C-alpha cells in the first residue's frame, strides 16, 4: 500500500494510453489521476478517477480497506477525469455519502441525470469529523471550475489541492516537476491567476506539510519552492530572465531573421534565448515559455491579409489565458501588403501591461541590409 501518512493512502492510477489531455495537450509521459483514502473512525475517499480505470481504482480502495467500507466520497472537482466513476463507486458502496457543495451537486446531476441517494452538501469552512481527522473544506472557485474546493486535514497537515499543484505525466515516470507543472498550470489554470492568488492567501494561514494534488506527485519536500512558483505564475511575474522568440516562416526568410536575432542577443550578453517554430514545435510548450520569460518576440508573415494561422492561434491562446506584463518585439514579413504589426497589436489590445519594443523589424520578402540593421537594433533594445 502506498502511504501518504499513517492514515492516508494513495489509491490513484496511471494512464499511459491517453494521447491528448483535455483533447489538446500532448502528454508523452501519460497522466496520473490521483485519489486518496483517509482511514479513521469514518473512512473518506478523496475523489474518483478517469472512466477507463474504474476496476483498478476500486481494487486499490479495497486493498487499503479490506473488509471496511467507505463512509464518504469527497468530490472536490467535477471534471470527468476526477468524477466519472461516482455512480459506479456508489454501486459498489451504496451506503457511502457523497460530499460536495451546491455547485458540485448541480454539475453531478448535469453529468449523470440523477440524484445521489446519500449526500452531504457542505459550505466554505465547514468541517467533516472523521474521528481523529477533521476535514476543513476550503472553497477555491475558478481554480479552475466554479465548484472546486480543496480540503485541509489539520491532523496530518495535508492539503488536498484539487487541480492545484498538478502536473502532466504519470507517477511511474521520473521527470522534472517544474517544466510539466508549468505547462499544466498555464494551459489549464493560467487564466485564473487572481483566483489562485486568493487560494494562496488562504493556504498561507495553514500549517501545510504535504500537498496531495489530483494530478502529479505528492509534494512533501521543499514546499516553499512549489508555493513560490505558484505565486510567480499566478501573479503573471517573470520566472526567468531571457528572451523567447515565437515564429512562423513559410520559405525560410523570417526564420533567417529569427536566427540572426538570436545570434545578436547572445552577442549582447543575453544568457537565455528560447525559440519555438509554431508550425512544428509544441504549441502548449510555446505558451509555457511565453509566460515564463518577460521578453517575447513575435515573428511572422502576412498571410491572406492576416497573419500566418499558427501565429494567430498562438496569440489567441495567450490572450485567452490572460497573458500580461510583457515586453514584446515584432518581426514582420510581407511581400505585397504587410499587415503583421497592425494585426498583432490589435490582437493584443486587451492584454494588460504590454510594452512594445522599437524598432519593429520590417522585412520585405527577404532580409536586406536595412532589415538586418533593424534586427541588430531590436537585439540591443531587448538586451538592455
Tens-place pLDDT, residues 5-30 = 999 999 999 999 999 999 999 999 99
Domain end residue (candidates: 234, 258, 285): 234
* pLDDT given at position 2: 85
The CA R_g of the chain, rounded to the nearest whole Å, is 24
Q: What pLDDT, on a 0 to 100 scale, did the predictor assign at position 77?
A: 97
- Cα–Cα distances in Å, from 306 out to 193, 287, 347? 31, 21, 11
User: 123 is in which domain, residue-wise?
Assistant: 2-234
Look up the CATH number of the domain holding residue 277: 3.40.50.360
Do 191 and 79 lie in one domain? The reply is yes
Same domain, 31 and 172: yes
Helix locations, the chain, DSSP H? 54-65, 80-83, 86-92, 102-112, 177-184, 193-203, 223-234, 253-267, 283-292, 309-320, 340-347, 369-383
Half-sphere exposure of 12 (CA within 13 A, CB side): 28
Looking at 219, 234, 249, which one is the last position of a domain?
234
Say yes or no: 250 and 349 in one domain: yes
Out of 189, 209, 234, a domain closes at 234
- Express each pLDDT in 248-260 by its tens digit: 999 999 999 999 9
Say yes or no: 269 and 153 in one domain.
Answer: no
Rounded distance between C-alpha atoms, residue 68 and residue 105, angstroms: 26
At residue 268, does pLDDT exceed 90?
A: yes
Instruction: Give the tens place of pLDDT for each residue, 283-302.
Output: 999 999 999 999 999 999 99
Q: Do residues 260 and 246 both lie within one domain? A: yes
Mean pLDDT of the chain: 96
Q: How many helices (H) and strands (E) does the chain have?
A: 12, 23
Residues 298, 176 share a domain: no
Q: Do 165 and 150 reside in the same domain of the chain?
A: yes
- 90 and 202 together in one domain: yes
Judge if 184 and 286 occupy the same domain: no
Q: Are 242 and 261 in contact (CB under 8 A)?
A: no
Percent of the chain with pLDDT over 90: 96
Q: What is the CATH number of the domain that holds 90?
A: 3.60.15.10
Residue 1 scores a pLDDT above 70: no
Judge if 275 and 311 occupy the same domain. Answer: yes
Domain count, the chain: 2
Residue 40 has pLDDT above 90, yes or no: yes
Task: Assess whether 228 and 263 both reside in one domain.
Answer: no
Tell me which H or E stretch contains 15.
strand 13-15
Together in a domain, 263 and 228: no
Amino acid at each position: 500500500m502506498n502511504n501518504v501518512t499513517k492514515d492516508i493512502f494513495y489509491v490513484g492510477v496511471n494512464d499511459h494510453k491517453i494521447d491528448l489531455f483535455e483533447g489538446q495537450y500532448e502528454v508523452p509521459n501519460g497522466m496520473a489521476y490521483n485519489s486518496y483514502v483517509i482511514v479513521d473512525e469514518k473512512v473518506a475517499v478523496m475523489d474518483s478517477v478517469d472512466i477507463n480505470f474504474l476496476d483498478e481504482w476500486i481494487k486499490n480502495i479495497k486493498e487499503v480497506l479490506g473488509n471496511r467500507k467507505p463512509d464518504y466520497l469527497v468530490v472536490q472537482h467535477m471534471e470527468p477525469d476526477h468524477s466519472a466513476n461516482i455512480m459506479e463507486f456508489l454501486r459498489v458502496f451504496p451506503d457511502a455519502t457523497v460530499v460536495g457543495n451546491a455547485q458540485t451537486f448541480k454539475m453531478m446531476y448535469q453529468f449523470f441525470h440523477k440524484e445521489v441517494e446519500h449526500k452531504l452538501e457542505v459550505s466554505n469552512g465547514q468541517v467533516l469529523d472523521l474521528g481523529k481527522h477533521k476535514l476543513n473544506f476550503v472553497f477555491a472557485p475558478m481554480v479552475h471550475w466554479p465548484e472546486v474546493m480543496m480540503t485541509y486535514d489539520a491532523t496530518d497537515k495535508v492539503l488536498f489541492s484539487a487541480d492545484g499543484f498538478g502536473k502532466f505525466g504519470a507517477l511511474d515516470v521520473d521527470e522534472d516537476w517544474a517544466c510539466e507543472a508549468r505547462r499544466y498550470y498555464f494551459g489549464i489554470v493560467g487564466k485564473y491567476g487572481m483566483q489562485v492568488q486568493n487560494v494562496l492567501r488562504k493556504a498561507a494561514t495553514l500549517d501545510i506539510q504535504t500537498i496531495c494534488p489530483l494530478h502529479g506527485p505528492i509534494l512533501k519536500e521543499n514546499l516553499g519552492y512549489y508555493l513560490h512558483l505558484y505565486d510567480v505564475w499566478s501573479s503573471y511575474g517573470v520566472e526567468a530572465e531571457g528572451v523567447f522568440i515565437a515564429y512562423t516562416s513559410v520559405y525560410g526568410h523570417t526564420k533567417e531573421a529569427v536566427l540572426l536575432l538570436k545570434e545578436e542577443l547572445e552577442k549582447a550578453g543575453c544568457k537565455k534565448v528560447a525559440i519555438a517554430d509554431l508550425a512544428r514545435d509544441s504549441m502548449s510548450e510555446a505558451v509555457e515559455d511565453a509566460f515564463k520569460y518577460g521578453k517575447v518576440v513575435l515573428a511572422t508573415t502576412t498571410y491572406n491579409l492576416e497573419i500566418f494561422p499558427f501565429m494567430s492561434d498562438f496569440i489567441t491562446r495567450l490572450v485567452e489565458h490572460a497573458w500580461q506584463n510583457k515586453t514584446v518585439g515584432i518581426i514582420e514579413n510581407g511581400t505585397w501588403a504587410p499587415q503583421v504589426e497592425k494585426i498583432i497589436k490589435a490582437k493584443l489590445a486587451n492584454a494588460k501591461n504590454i510594452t512594445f519594443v522599437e524598432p519593429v523589424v520590417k522585412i520585405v520578402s527577404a532580409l536586406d541590409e536595412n532589415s538586418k540593421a533593424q534586427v541588430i537594433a531590436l537585439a540591443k533594445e531587448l538586451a538592455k
